[in-house]
Structure 1
Amino acid sequence: MNKIATILLCILCFACNKTTSDNPEDENNNNNNEIGSGQPGVVGTAGVTTWDLLADAEKNRIKGWNTLFLHQSVGQDLEEGCKANGFAWEYYGNGDKVNKGLMGGIFVDVGNIANGNPYEKIRVFKEQILNSKEEVKIGVFKFGYADIDDENYSQVETAYKKMVEELKSGINGFRMVHVTPPLVFSVEPYDGNGARMKVGQWMKTTFAGNDVIFDLQALESNDGACQINGVWHICAENRNSASDPSDVNGVDTSPGQGHIGKKAGQRIAKALLMSMYNSGK
C-alpha cells in the first residue's frame, strides 16, 4: 500500500511539474518584461524594417517599461502612429506617476509651455521625471521645431546635456531616448532647419555611445533625399497633406510647419518603438 501511495505521489508531482513547463509564456512573460542593459546607437530609417521583423513577444516587452514621452504637436503625430501599430500611450498629466507603462503628454498640458520655449520644456521634463524616480525607466524628450534656431541652438544643447546628466546621476538605471529635432518644409535660414540639423548631429555625437538616438530627421527627410543645398527638410510624402492629413494637426498651411501625415506617422513611429526597445532590450 505504501508503495502504491509513493507511486501515486510521484505521478502527481510529475504532472504538476509538466503543467508548469507546458505554459512557458506565463513564466517567461515576467522575465521577458524585465528591462535589460539596452543597445545604444542611432535608430533611423532602417528601424522601420527592424521593428517589423521583431517577434511580437519582444515588441510587447516595451509595454511593461515605465516610459515618459513629453512632446508637442509633432509628438502627437508620433503618438497616433504608435497607436496605429498597437502601442497606445496612456495620457500623462502634470504630476502624474509614470507607472502605467507607456505614458505620453504634451508640454502645454503638463507645464503650460508653448513651442518656442525650450528651456522651460527642459525644466519641466526634469521635474516630471524626478517626481517618478522610483517608477520611471525610460525618458523620451522631443523638442518642437519652433524651439531651435540659429540664435539659441548652442545654449539649448548645453541646457539639454545638463538635464540628461542630472537625471542619470539622480536615478539609478535611468535611460534616455534622444529625438533629433523635427524639420519643417522650408529650408530658408530663418525657418531653422540648419540649426536643427546641427542639434541632431550633436545629439548623435554626444549621446550615441551610451544612449539610443531616434533620428526623426532621417525619417522625415528620407535620409536627406529631401534637401536643398545641403539643408534637409521634411519630404512632401511624409508631411501632412490633403491626401494624408494628420489626425491631430490636420493639414499644414505654411512651409514653416512640419507635421507628419497619418500614414507616414504610422511608418515613422515604428522606428520610435524600435528606439525604446533598443533602450531596454
Structure 2
Amino acid sequence: MKGKKVLIILLTVLVFLSGTVLGVSSVYRVDEVVVDAKIISAEAEMEAAELKNCLQAAYEKKFTLSVKDTEANAILEDFPYFRITSIEKKYPNRLIVHVAEDDEVYAVSRAEGGYYILNREGTVLGIRDNYINRSDETKKAKNVLIEGVTVTGEKGQTIAGDDALGYLFDFCARVDELLQGIRRNIVSIEKIQAGVSADTVMLKLVTFEGVNIYVNTPSVNAGEKATAAVETYLSLEDGQRTRGMIAVADVGGVVKAVHSDKDVFEDKTSAEITQ
C-alpha cells in the first residue's frame, strides 16, 4: 500500500514536470527574427529585408535557448555585403540579429568583363559593369581601381590569382588608415612589373589632385613605404599636389620619399619605369 502511494506521487511529479517542460519549450520558441542593420546604401535596405526573411525561415519555432550562430553565418554567405556583429536573444521568443553593411573600397576588372567590387580586405562584395561606389547618392564617386593584376573571385570570397595581392593590400591598408579612407584621395593603384620577380614591381598611385606616387619594390617594407608616401603627400602645398610625382624607395637600407615637380615616368612604358 505504501509502495503504491509512492508510485502515484512519482507519477504525479513526472506528469507535472513533463507539462512544465512542454509549456516552457512552447513559450521559448522563436516567433520573430528582427534584423537590426547598419546600412550605408539604398540597395542594402532591400537586401536587409531579404536577409530577414531567410533568417526567419531558418530560426522560426526553434528553441530559443539552443539558438546558435552557425545557421546565421551560413545564410550570410549569400549576403556578402553584410557581416554579423552580434546575435541577441530576447526571451521568450524574439531573436535580434545585428548586422553591418561593409564598405565598397576597391574594384578590379574581370577577364569576362565588368568589375569585382571589393571591401578593404579584398573580399568580393559584388560583380558589376561599373565601379561607382553604391553608397554615394550622387552616383559619381568611384571605388579605387586596382590595375595591372589578373585575378579571379567569387562573391563572399577573398580575391585571388596574383602574387602581388598580399603585399598590395598590406600597403593599401596602411594608406587607408593614414588617409582615414583611401577613397578620399586615391583614384587608382596600378601594379607595374618589368620582370618575373617581386623586385621588378612598382606601384603607381594616382591621386585626385594629380600628383602621382611611385613605390618601388612594395613587397619589402610595405607599411613603412606607405607611411613615407602618405606623409610626403600630406606635406605638400595644394599647388604641389596638382603635378609631379612622389618617389618612394629603399635607399641604403632606409625608406625615403622624394617629391619632384616633374613626373619623370609620365611618358615611359612600364618596362622603362622599373629599369
Q: Which has the higher helix share?
A: 1
Give the TM-score taking structure 1 as reference length: 0.24
Normalized against structure 2, the TM-score is what? Answer: 0.24
**Which has the higher relative contact order, 1 or 2, with Cα contacts under 8 A spaced 6 or more apart?**
1
More strand by share: 2
